[in-house]
Structure 1
Amino acid sequence: MKKPKVIDLFCGAGGLALGLEKAGFKIAASVEFDSKACKTYRRNIGDHLIEADIHKLSVAEVLKFAKMEPGECSLLAGGPPCQGFSVQRRGDDVDPRNDLVLEYLRFVEGIMPQFFLMENVSGLMSKRGTPFLDKILNRVAELGYKTYLTKVEAADFGVPQMRKRVILIGERMTGAGQFFELPEAPIKDGKYRTVKQAIGDLASPPADGSLHPTIPNHAREAKLSAMNVERIQHVPQGGGREHIPEHLQLPCHRNNPGHRHMDVYGRLAWDKPSGTITARFDSFTRGKFAHPIEHRSITLREGARLQTFPDTFIFEGSREEVAKQIGNAVPPLLAEVLGTSVFAALCRKEKKSPVARQQDVRMCELESSVS
């Protein structure tokens, strides 16, 4: 079988594309709005990129760029920006970012791929996200797609990070049976890949804040204050702000055990996966992002390792811009697992060999072990 072709929406720095390429796919076209992420993508993945606001982009333009007609695309993939569905977000349920999942749906309607894959935060299945999810499910069913919906824990698939995500995969049915099966997680006993396994071999970054001479994107946080260095010194592995002496705590944290952000000013533990690598993992004040034994925030390269990016993948931009690219990415290893399952389905479809056990969207949702 020739390499099946992918159109990748909201591609960011290229985490999803990198994993799909390893699974055997060829990226025919990608779409991204963020200019720094585009620069990173072009450096590491390729020039098959449309840098544009997806709201202003027509399906016809993307298909022309990819040299395809409707129905020819093997896989439409993408992770629409999802901060509006985050369970950590406060405020009104109306968020302009939420309609990006409907832009994704617009491209499913126009491209009519054999399969589509959408990754999003678990909040997509919450009160805020359910109206959008239901709209997608109902519409793609009208278009003739069978859907597979599940929540996954990235650590169950070998990512050294606790990262809950919703995965929605659609298969365009032809009457020949079901060819796709959701992948089973290889790690079922909680023996996750640890922070030490992921970053323990990395040399300490230069003390002066400069880049490491041989390890890309590996430098200390330049703005780490003396006060924060002192705070870090009091935090044990796996600990957080509750371990910082009261006189060093922020006023809003003092005598406030109910404060919603308990993991801020925290430190990673060698023997466990990290927590979710967010778009602001560049500062330990934003979560458990201090190095397990050194009194500093983790470097961009260490965050990239926890997201399963290889060291050969070099990010472009400032520390804050790169942290956003890394934190918003689909872990390439998880993308590869999902891509491998779709690739296998395409192979079965070519051989006209449907799977014996039928899977259903609601069954997958109910069977999920991720809360």
Structure 2
Amino acid sequence: MIDAVDLFCGAGGLTAGLRKANIHVRAGYDNDANCEHAYTVNNHASFINKDVQEVTVEEVKNWYQKGSIKLLAGCAPCQPFSTYNQGKDASLDRKWPLLYAFQRLIKGVKPELVTMENVPDVTKHEVYHDFVASLKAQKYHVWEGRVACADYGLPQKRQRHVLLASKFGPISLMPKTHNIHVTVEQVLKKYAKLHAGEHHSSDPLHRAAKLSPTNMARIMLSTQGGTWRDWPESLRANCHKKESGKTYASVYGRMKWSEPSPTMTTLCYGFGNGRFGHPEQNRAISLREAATLQSFPDDYEFLPAEKINFKAVGRMIGNAVPVILGEVIGHSLNIHMQEYR
């Protein structure tokens, strides 16, 4: 039996996926108190609202059942490793030394298994290479690689870096499961129609953000996969009229029914924040639709109905490990343990 503790657990995407693979996740740690409802209600695991830098080795050890295989999992916040910070040394960023905190806990807890997920650009930073070197110095076998989540059935063009480590022997991620990718149409066509600013009576998360008159005029002239270049000059944003803004064609765009969606971000509910326009309806995708594109099930709760707001829920959805990817990681660990039992 594999027991897990999920560091930087957020709303529980990784935990939910690991649980689908029959891994027993005992607890999750995160410093965002808004995530507690989503994590505990959906995953029936303990949530500890605490900065991982303050977590002790002993408290993590206490979560594991006697005789279990220990898995320590985590997805440190990716802000310091994103393309916005290319060229900077994340180890010098005083706000985000979180991989070093993860590294410290691995050294103390000594789990048999470790997994980490992050943006692909994490590999460009010294802190990541220090993390891998520490694992290898502790005699872990390490697999690491860039994963196209669409290859495993996620209806999204999300690329992530995944690391697996084991004390037992060589380990790897399971082979891809989908040669033909799941499309936006296959997962979103079922949802009831909405107008901008409305929410559905039976699902408080199926709600779409309001649009200004200008943005309503823009989306009405937008086509699937098109850009703001299709609009008349009078509707174009001032920033796009400048030389520096002419290359940013993916904002104010509609998704295409026939393809996976773009990567969900923390602002995925906003028409002007990326290609987050609904393929047909004159609105941005709803929070529920964004969660579905992250492979959360339809009954996944993020906040109590009366407390739902776009900013908080959007942050949880965009920051989450896709549930499908968590499940793939879990199955990969199970396959590995079957080989070495």
The TM-score with structure 1 as length reference comes to 0.85
Unpaired runs of 5+ in structure 2?
A: none
Count of aligned pairs between the two proteins = 335
**Candidates 161, 182, 188, aligned match of 1:199:** 188
Q: CA deviation at 1:73?
A: 4.6
Alignment of 1:219-258 (within 5 A): 219-222=207-210, 224-254=211-241, 256=243
For 2:325, the equivalent position in structure 1 comes to 334
Does residue 146 of structure 2 align to residue 151 of structure 1?
yes
CA 72–96 in structure 1, closer or farther in 2 if over 3 Å, else same:
farther
Contact 2:3/2:65 (<8 A) preserved: no
CA-to-partner distance for each residue in 1:250-307, whole Å, 9 max, x for gaps? 1110153754532111110100111100111010111000100011010000001111
Q: CA deviation at 1:91?
A: 8.4
For 1:25, the equivalent position in structure 2 comes to 23
For 2:83, the equivalent position in structure 1 comes to 87
CA distance in 2, matches of 1:10, 1:152: 20
For 1:307, the equivalent position in structure 2 comes to 294
Contact 1:234/1:245 (<8 A) preserved: no
For 1:137, the equivalent position in structure 2 comes to 132
Counterpart AA for 1:285 = G
CA-to-partner distance for each residue in 1:331-350, whole Å, 9 max, x for gaps? 10111011101012122222
SS of 1:288's equivalent?
Answer: coil
CA-based RMSD of the aligned residues comes to 2.0
For 2:312, the equivalent position in structure 1 comes to 321
Q: CA deviation at 1:97?
A: 4.7
Q: CA deviation at 1:151?
A: 0.4
CA distance in 2, matches of 1:44, 1:242: 42
**Candidates 75, 79, 97, aligned match of 2:71:** 75
Q: CA deviation at 1:245?
A: 2.0
SS of 1:151's equivalent?
Answer: strand
CA distance in 1, matches of 2:263, 2:297: 18
Counterpart AA for 1:135 = D
The TM-score with structure 2 as length reference comes to 0.92
Q: Identity percentage over the alignment?
A: 34
CA distance in 2, matches of 1:148, 1:67: 24
Q: CA deviation at 1:213?
A: 2.0
For 1:361, the equivalent position in structure 2 comes to none
Contact 1:157/1:185 (<8 A) preserved: yes
Q: Is 295-304 or 250-259 further displaced after alignment?
A: 250-259
Q: CA deviation at 1:111?
A: 1.4
Contact 1:7/1:73 (<8 A) preserved: no
For 1:211, the equivalent position in structure 2 comes to 199
Does residue 283 of structure 2 align to residue 296 of structure 1?
yes
CA 109–166 in structure 1, closer or farther in 2 if over 3 Å, else same:
same
CA 141–226 in structure 1, closer or farther in 2 if over 3 Å, else same:
same
CA 210–229 in structure 1, closer or farther in 2 if over 3 Å, else same:
closer
CA distance in 1, matches of 2:291, 2:54: 31
Counterpart AA for 1:137 = V
Contact 2:288/2:298 (<8 A) preserved: yes
